[in-house]
Amino acid sequence: MTPDRPLFGILLMLGFCVLAPLGDSIAKILGPVVPLALLMLIRFWVQALVLWPMCRARGVAIRPPRALLGLVILRAALHILGVGLMFTSLLFLPLAEAVAIAFVMPFILLLLGSLFLGEEVGPRRLIACAVGFSGALMVIQPSFAEVGAAALLPLGVALAFALFMLVTRRVAKHIDAVPLQAFSGLIAGGLLMGLVALDGSWTALPTFGARIWGLLLLLGLVGTVAHLLMTWSLRYAPSATLAPMQYLEIPIATFFGWLIFNDLPGPLATLGIAVTIAAGLYVIWREGRTLRAAPPAV
């Protein structure tokens, strides 16, 4: 077991909060020209091909302990689902709006803990969840009017990554981030190879020029480093400590959206983003207060 080092974990999560929106920006550029299954395949194969030699050089086996193998495979499947839904949503939505809607994830985590783990959730936090979802609806409403049901895709992203975070926290204390990500990349790459073979998207490969290949490799590298930082952060700090940092993704995504795509949220979406952030931070504050007030375990 690795001891907690909260400050180091926070710095690692800060790096993730910068790189994750950058990776989404690259995916948004590539989405219209690279088939989705092929885009994800290359992203995960780059992850595996970068990290597998690192494991070999360190003499570290990438296969997880048998007791955790099922959880690691489940984590890879959730990663594929979350990334696929996010990349698809970016075909239809501005970057900041897609990221902001996906930030109903902390509320979903809270509700999942109540429903399946028996964790107590008081009325104030339930109200905060309702407020947070209403903020997300404010962000969704203008996009829904413009693109229809595709505006709901980030809600699927939120659910997939809420489950992904729960599984990651469970395994990250026992498996180093590099072999964990290397094995996840191999599992995801193997699953996606079958999909690419079935849908025939591999035939697009000869049409890619140097710019597309450069962006594909950059997407894989950014995604690999970002999720390494996230996994390391969960290894060194509890989820409750790191959760407030993750809201930095929204202003950073807004900045990249403005810089690269000249997109800025409208008034209603901006208000919804503010409401979602405020509700999320309140939930995190209540969680911290509840933990401090709880009697020590004996």
State the Cα–Cα distance between residues 267 and 248, nearest whole angstrom: 20
Q: Tens digit of pLDDT for each residue in 9-64?
A: 888 988 998 999 999 999 999 999 999 999 999 999 999 999 988 888 888 888 88
Q: Which residue, among 112, 225, 223, has the nearest Cα to 167 in the 3D structure?
A: 112
pTM exceeding 0.85: no
pLDDT at 157: 94
pLDDT at 134: 83
pLDDT at 240: 63
Is the pLDDT confidence value at 121 over 70? no
pLDDT band at 130 (very low <50, low <70, confident <90, very high): confident
Higher pLDDT, 61 or 186: 186
State the Cα–Cα distance between residues 151 and 90, nearest whole angstrom: 10
Three-state SS for the chain is CCCCCHHHHHHHHHHHHHHHHHHHHHHHHHCCCCCHHHHHHHHHHHHHHHHHHHHHHHCCCCCCCHHHHHHHHHHHHHHHHHHHHHHHHCCCCCHHHHHHHHCCHHHHHHHHHHHHCCCCCCHHHHHHHHHHHHHHHHHHHHHHHHHHHHHHHHHHHHHHHHHHHHHHHHHHCCCCHHHHHHHHHHHHHHHHHHHHHHHCHHHHHHHCCHHHHHHHHHHHHHHHHHHHHHHHHHHHCCHHHHHHHHCCHHHHHHHHHHHHHCCCCCHHHHHHHHHHHHHHHHHHHHHHHHHHHCCCCC
pLDDT band at 209 (very low <50, low <70, confident <90, very high): very high
Q: Which residue, among 178, 145, 95, 128, has the nearest Cα to 287 in the 3D structure?
A: 128
Parse the chain into domains and list their residue ranges. 6-291
Is the pLDDT confidence value at 166 over 90? no
Angle at 155 between CA 152 and CA 159, to 5 degrees: 150
Tell me the residue type at 134: S
Tokens of 204: 């697009």
Is the pLDDT confidence value at 133 over 70? yes
Mean pLDDT over 230-238 rounds to 78
Is the pLDDT confidence value at 8 over 50? yes
Tokens of 162: 């809420």
Q: Round the average pLDDT of the chain to a whole number and report it.
A: 84
pLDDT band at 178 (very low <50, low <70, confident <90, very high): confident
Higher pLDDT, 293 or 99: 99
Is the pLDDT confidence value at 154 over 90? yes
